[in-house]
Amino acid sequence: MSNIVSLDELAKFARRKGFIYQGSEIYGGLANTWDYGNKGVLLKENIKNLWRQYLVQSRVDMIELDSGILMNQRVWEASGHTETFADAMVDDKKTKHRFRADHLIEEQLGIDVEGMSGEEITKIMSENKLLNPKTGKEGDWTEARYMNLMFETNRDKINPSNEETRIYLRPETAQGIFVQFKNILNTERKKLPFGVGQIGKAFRNEITPGNFNFRIVEFEQMEIEYFITPPSKDKQWNKVFEEWLDLQKKFLKVGLALTDENLQQKEHSKEKLSHYSKRTVDLEYNFPFGFSELTGLAYRTDFDLSQHMKFSGESLEYMDPTTGEKFIPHVIEPTVGVDRLFLAILCQHYREEKIENDTRIVLGLPYKLAPFKVAVLPLMKKDGLGEKAQEIFANLRARGLMCDYDESGSVGKRYRRQDENGTPWCLTVDYDTLSDGTITLRHRDTMEQERVKIDELSEWLDAKKF
Ligand code: GAP
């Protein structure tokens, strides 16, 4: 069940267990930044590998790219980001708190201000007594001003206002794929339809109400640009769109074990579509603050390739190998943020179980997501048990199995620690191990134990994956 704990409690749990720390914590933090600890790194890596497995590597029509964070500033002019990638902001003059005006108006008045000018938004704000959500009192609001969300820097440190040398940190990974489309066509010799997947960092100067790591300024995206024949020649785009929607759902439900009741589909109305999109469907997750966007799927038409053709002067056309006809492909884009998936996974799989007068906290992660698959625990450090346990640990790691080693505290406490880490199996080395070569394996969810021969451990674990 999602939402059994508050977001604050979940953030405390994630920090206590070394999944996520507040960014720059010893300096009082930096708003909307988070760092991933050891288990966080491992869980994130597993999320990315599963995405690759489900959406990229299982398909013959998919390849990958790793493009740079920094690109020629013209990329962002062509994509429309320098012009339109902005949110309207208002400040409370008394408290200096800053908010997104669209969020305040939507939450307090139920009005959608998408596409409105700064003046129109200011008028709505002044005609209605909007509250400052941080104080609960009526705010003394500034005019609404649009702020571009792209971070920028300048190569020319002597003259930082030199516009020629301005560089943006990319706000999405997608554009890297469009910009390399010509090279990809020439080197990969792929026929339409085919897609390019990319995992990488993106940056947005977000002002947020602070929903843990839901909306952050530095995050990782996993995006696919799937190139298809334009609908003027092949009307099948909606079929391809639905296939990708199904695959996104399969990844969330089967790969990450997010449950049906915590997922919902949201079709964007025509008025809410981005400037580049003909159809967009989000999959939303039931976070503690309500259903919110987890993944996106957009039919971007030929908008991006056409724009880059126009701005770069290079041809980004595809030549049909059978007819010799040239055209600009259209694109369907499945996209998702790794950090948001991370949060949904914590919400979904965190549980508290009452056992007599005690509470057992379990992170019931599927085997493939678990940071550690096995924890090796010697009953005692002495009498050669520690050495034997370390030997087993080293053998498992050498086999490529990510396992943990823990020799401090009672075995009961160590079991509980691993339940919180999400480790499916605890492997205990005791005196019998030294005499008959067996170990005990204890299962995280059932807490049942089984005696297994060390020599048969590999096959046993392979058979028990869940
Ligand atoms: N290329 C299309 C694109 O970037 P988007 O809806 O703006 O579309 C795609 O972003 C996904 O990236 C979202 O569905 C979300 O999972 C993730 N994402 C976007 N902004 C984010 C932020 N500030 N923090 C964390 N994840 C974010």
Instruction: Name all domains of the chain by residue range, CATH numbers in brackets.
Output: 7-82+160-348 (3.30.930.10), 88-148 (no CATH), 372-463 (3.40.50.800)
Q: Does the CB atom of residue 349 touch ligand 1 within 6 A?
A: no
E strand or H helix at 42: helix 38-51
The pLDDT score that the predictor gives to residue 2 is 44
The pLDDT score that the predictor gives to residue 466 is 53
Phi and psi of 265, rounded to 5°? -105, 135
Cα–Cα distance for residue pair 222/335, rounded to 1 Å: 6
The pLDDT score that the predictor gives to residue 57 is 96
Q: Answer whether 0.85 is exceeded by the pTM.
A: yes
Strand partners for 361: 352
Among 372, 402, 374, 359, residue whose Cα is nearest residue 19: 372
Q: HSE-up of 166 (CA within 13 Å, CB side)?
A: 15
Q: Which residue bears the tokens 């030549």?
A: 319
Q: Does the CB atom of residue 223 touch ligand 1 within 6 A?
A: yes
Q: Which of 198, 205, 273, 340 to mutate to test the pocket of ligand 1 (most atoms within 8 A of CB)?
A: 340
Instruction: State yes or no: cis peptide before 193, omega within 30 of 0.
Output: yes
Given a contact cutoff of 8 angstroms between Cβ atoms, the answer to whether 419 and 444 are in contact is: yes
Closest residue (by CA) to atom 6 of ligand 1? Answer: 296
Mean pLDDT for back-to-back runs of 10 residues, the chain (466 residues) = 76 97 96 96 98 97 98 98 94 93 92 88 92 93 95 95 96 98 96 98 89 96 97 90 98 98 94 84 96 97 98 97 96 98 98 92 97 97 94 94 96 97 97 96 96 91 75
Closest residue (by CA) to atom 21 of ligand 1? Answer: 215
Dihedral sign (CA 446, 447, 452, 455): positive
Q: Which of 219, 342, 343 to mutate to test the pocket of ligand 1 (most atoms within 8 A of CB)?
A: 219
Strand 290-301 versus strand 330-337 pairing type:
antiparallel
Given a contact cutoff of 8 angstroms between Cβ atoms, the answer to whether 196 and 304 are in contact is: no
Given a contact cutoff of 8 angstroms between Cβ atoms, the answer to whether 105 and 121 are in contact is: yes
User: Helices 118-127 and 101-109: crossing angle, nearest 10°?
Assistant: 40
Q: Which atom of ligand 1 is nearest to the CA of 171?
A: 4
The pLDDT score that the predictor gives to residue 458 is 85
